[in-house]
């Protein structure tokens, strides 16, 4: 490629020449359109992030009953929108470590019982108000109050006391916890003025964008925060998030150019989508898992044999093959997989209709078992429920699959109905996952798993700084969930999203949730 073409491509990449003009000049010089586009793409990457323009995101999960209060964020839409306008003390880094946000540094006492976080100097909220250590304290206090509905409540119950000292936020724990900084990176814990106690849904935060419009379950518009402290993110001038819960419609919106990125590309069609012009499918493995959850305090799921019957009645490998199409792996009725640094492998629980029939008969239950599902719970959930229904027949178990509306699934079905499909995105460390969803005191204990021994192990593991002993403790905790809990985890899903060639800046193997931990809109930029 000659130097003149490289020069023209660089001018276009820097916004000094319209893309159409560049393509016209490249064509006049005898360069094919595909080669010209490649030249410009290379120039864009070399030029680095571009400022301005609009990135449009097609996102699933949102409903009309959602709230802008980050404490109650329970789906992909709410999580991503909160990332736009707000920030936590720390955030998960692409490599799985931690990167500073509202806190610029932190340190622990030798026994990991006292943690000190230094609040970033000069940082302000989007309303211009300076951020103080007291705002941080009040935020954590709101989420740890026993009256709260925060999804982070279970993470914060080990706090004995909090105080401030100038720009320092200091946490005293009841027992040592080496993972506290990870817990405080939880996406619910967005730092708000006065902790958000007066108006938790006011969307005033320290994020790179300011929310300008919010039509719950439909559309959100955020504009660049001119006073944001970090020039390395927030490149687009405007982010528009459009809730598209239908999988087919979401993919079609990307292919037609209505949006620039989408989450949850259905695994069934991912390879076909990847072959579409101008579209790239992005797949990342991790701790996310698609599940069937039973309430242990509600009949018939309060019967151990009934639960074991259902666990043996599901064909995990068939589900991975027919639902994930290679974008994931087999699960084993525990939320922990090999993506966690000190995980333990258990003997795989396989499909066994004879064992399922034995436990079903022993349970004394007769008649159908109602399973509620919706495509909003995870891609292919209705098909997965149908496969479960079919595999259970061989054990003499009748599953009555009830299809629920997409809208309102997370407020009316999940964590309310006793048997339903759901998903978890996983967490950076085991304590965070187990404390969020399985401690007896966790507000999001969606299987109603109230196990005293389990609680003792998880709390004790926080204080155990010997990694080998900690691994043994987490192994026992996982075994209790696997054998006594209400979780049926047939598969760990890859996060499968997709982007158009109109935007650039994707980072492969980003830890966390889908779409680069839902930070792709913040970190990518308009390239064309």
Domain borders along the chain are 3-47, 54-61+207-283+495-526, 87-196, 289-493
For 1-46, the pLDDT digits (tens) are 455 555 555 555 545 555 556 556 656 656 565 565 565 556 555 5
- What's the CATH fold of domain 289-493? Dipeptide-binding Protein; domain 3 (3.10.105)
Q: What is the pLDDT of residue 341?
A: 83
The answer to whether 217 and 197 have CB atoms below 8 angstroms apart is: no
Classified as helix, coil or strand, 172 is strand
Classified as helix, coil or strand, 331 is coil
Q: How far apart are CA 150 and CA 188, in angstroms?
A: 7
DSSP 353-397: HHHHHHHHHHHT--S-EEEEE-TTTSTTHHHHHHHHHHHHHTTT-
Neighbours of 229 (CB within 10 A): 17
Q: How far apart are CA 402 and CA 421, in angstroms?
A: 11
- What's the CATH fold of domain 54-61+207-283+495-526? D-Maltodextrin-Binding Protein; domain 2 (3.40.190)
Q: How far apart are CA 42 and CA 501, in angstroms?
A: 12
User: What is the CA 428 to chain-centroid distance, rounded?
Assistant: 11
71's tokens: 């404490």
Classified as helix, coil or strand, 27 is helix
The answer to whether 10 and 47 have CB atoms below 8 angstroms apart is: yes
Strand ranges in 73-197 using DSSP code E only, listed in sequence order: 90-92, 98-100, 103-108, 114-119, 159-165, 168-173
Angle of helix 467-484 versus helix 430-437 axis, rounded to 10? 30
Is the pLDDT at 84 greater than 80? The verdict is yes
Q: What is the pLDDT of residue 405?
A: 94
Task: Work out the pLDDT band at 399, boundaries 50, 70, 90.
Answer: very high
Half-sphere exposure of 34 (CA within 13 A, CB side): 1
CATH H-level, domain 87-196: superfamily: Dipeptide-binding Protein; Domain 1 (3.90.76.10)
As a whole number, mean pLDDT of residues 305-333 equals 97
Task: Work out the pLDDT band at 48, boundaries 50, 70, 90.
Answer: confident
The answer to whether 504 and 214 have CB atoms below 8 angstroms apart is: no
230: exposed, middle or buried (C-beta count within 10 Å: 0-12, 13-18, 19+)?
Answer: middle
Contacts of 347 (CB under 8 A, 6+ apart): none
Strand partners, 99: 91
For 450-501, the pLDDT digits (tens) are 999 999 999 999 988 888 999 999 999 999 999 999 999 999 999 999 999 9
Angle of helix 467-484 versus helix 452-463 axis, rounded to 10? 160
For 338-359, the pLDDT digits (tens) are 999 899 999 999 999 999 999 9
490's tokens: 């047939």
Q: What is the pLDDT of residue 208?
A: 98
For 226-244, the pLDDT digits (tens) are 999 999 999 999 999 999 9
Task: Give me Rg for the CA atoms of the chain.
Answer: 24
Residue 109 sits at φ, ψ, to 5 deg, of -70, 170
User: What is the CA 296 to chain-centroid distance, rounded?
Assistant: 25
Strand partners, 105: 118
Is the pLDDT at 152 greater than 70? The verdict is yes
Q: In what order do the strands lie in the sheet with 487-493?
A: 328-330, 487-493, 289-294, 419-424, 369-373, 399-403
The secondary element (H helix, E strand) that includes residue 518 is: helix 514-518
174's tokens: 């009841």
Residue 285 sits at φ, ψ, to 5 deg, of -85, 160
Q: What is the pLDDT of residue 528?
A: 75
Task: Please name which of 459, 423, 419 lies closest in space to residue 440, comparing C-alpha atoms.
Answer: 459
Percent helix, strand, coil in the chain (nearest 5)? 35, 20, 45
Choose between 428 and 89: higher pLDDT: 89
DSSP-assigned letter for residue 124: B
Q: What is the pLDDT of residue 509?
A: 83
Place of tokens 């120039």: 43
Angle of helix 353-363 versus helix 304-312 axis, rounded to 10? 160
Neighbours of 345 (CB within 10 A): 11
Task: Work out the pLDDT band at 118, boundaries 50, 70, 90.
Answer: very high
Choose between 420 and 465: higher pLDDT: 420
Task: Please name which of 355, 338, 358, 356 lies closest in space to residue 346, comparing C-alpha atoms.
Answer: 338
DSSP-assigned letter for residue 320: I
Q: What is the pLDDT of residue 45?
A: 56
Place of tokens 């000292």: 165
Contacts of 430 (CB under 8 A, 6+ apart): 336, 340, 342, 343, 461, 474, 477
Q: How far apart are CA 268 and CA 321, in angstroms?
A: 10
Choose between 250 and 147: higher pLDDT: 250
Place of tokens 């396989």: 350
Q: How far apart are CA 133 and CA 116, in angstroms?
A: 11
The answer to whether 210 and 85 have CB atoms below 8 angstroms apart is: yes
pTM confidence score: 0.82
Q: What is the pLDDT of residue 32?
A: 61
The answer to whether 68 and 143 have CB atoms below 8 angstroms apart is: no
């Amino acid at each position: 490629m000659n130097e003149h073409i490289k020069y023209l491509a660089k001018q276009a990449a820097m916004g000094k020449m319209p893309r159409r003009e560049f393509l016209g000049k490249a064509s006049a010089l005898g360069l094919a359109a595909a080669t010209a586009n490649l030249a410009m793409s290379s120039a864009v990457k070399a030029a680095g992030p571009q400022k301005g323009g609009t990135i449009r995101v097609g996102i699933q999960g949102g409903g009309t009953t959602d709230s802008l209060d980050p404490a109650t964020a329970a789906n992909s839409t709410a999580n991503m929108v909160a990332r736009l306008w707000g920030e936590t003390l720390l955030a998960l880094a692409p490599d799985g470590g931690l990167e500073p946000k509202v806190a610029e540094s932190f340190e622990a006492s030798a026994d990991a019982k006292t943690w000190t976080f230094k609040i970033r100097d000069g940082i302000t909220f989007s309303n211009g108000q300076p951020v103080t250590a007291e705002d941080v304290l009040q935020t954590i206090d709101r989420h740890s109050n026993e009256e709260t509905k925060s999804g982070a409540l279970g993470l914060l119950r080990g706090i004995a006391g909090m105080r401030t000292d100038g720009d320092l936020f200091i946490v005293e724990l009841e027992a040592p916890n080496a993972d506290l900084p990870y817990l405080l990176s939880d996406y619910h814990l967005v730092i708000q003025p006065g902790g958000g106690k007066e108006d938790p849904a006011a969307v005033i935060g320290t994020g790179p964008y300011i929310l300008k419009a919010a039509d719950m379950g439909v559309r959100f518009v955020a504009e660049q925060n001119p006073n944001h402290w970090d020039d390395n993110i927030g490149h687009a001038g405007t982010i528009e998030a459009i809730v598209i819960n239908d999988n087919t419609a979401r993919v079609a919106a990307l292919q037609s150019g209505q949006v620039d990125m989408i989450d949850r590309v259905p695994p069934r069609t991912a390879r076909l989508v990847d072959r579409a012009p101008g579209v790239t499918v992005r797949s990342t493995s991790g701790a996310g898992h698609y599940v069937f959850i039973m309430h242990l305090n509600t009949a018939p799921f309060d019967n151990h044999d009934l639960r074991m019957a259902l666990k043996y009645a599901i064909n995990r490998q068939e589900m991975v093959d027919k639902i994930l199409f290679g974008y994931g792996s087999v699960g084993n009725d525990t939320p922990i997989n090999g993506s966690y640094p000190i995980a333990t492998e258990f003997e795989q629980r396989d499909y066994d209709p004879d064992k399922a029939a034995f436990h079903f008969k022993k349970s004394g239950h007769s008649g159908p078992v109602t399973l509620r599902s919706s495509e909003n719970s995870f891609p292919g959930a209705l098909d997965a429920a149908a496969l479960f229904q079919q595999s259970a027949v061989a054990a003499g178990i009748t599953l009555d699959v009830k299809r629920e509306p997409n809208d309102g699934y997370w407020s009316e079905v999940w964590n309310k109905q006793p048997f339903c499909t759901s998903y978890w995105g996983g967490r950076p460390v085991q304590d965070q996952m187990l404390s969020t969803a399985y401690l007896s005191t966790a507000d999001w204990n969606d299987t109603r798993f109230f196990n005293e021994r389990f609680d003792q192990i998880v709390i004790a593991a926080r204080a155990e700084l010997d990694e080998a002993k900690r691994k043994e403790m987490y192994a026992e905790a996982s075994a209790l969930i696997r054998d006594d809990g209400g979780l049926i985890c047939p598969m760990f899903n890859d996060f499968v999203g997709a982007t158009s060639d109109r935007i650039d800046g994707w980072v492969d193997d980003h830890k966390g949730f889908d779409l680069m931990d839902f930070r792709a809109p913040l970190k990518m930029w308009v390239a064309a």
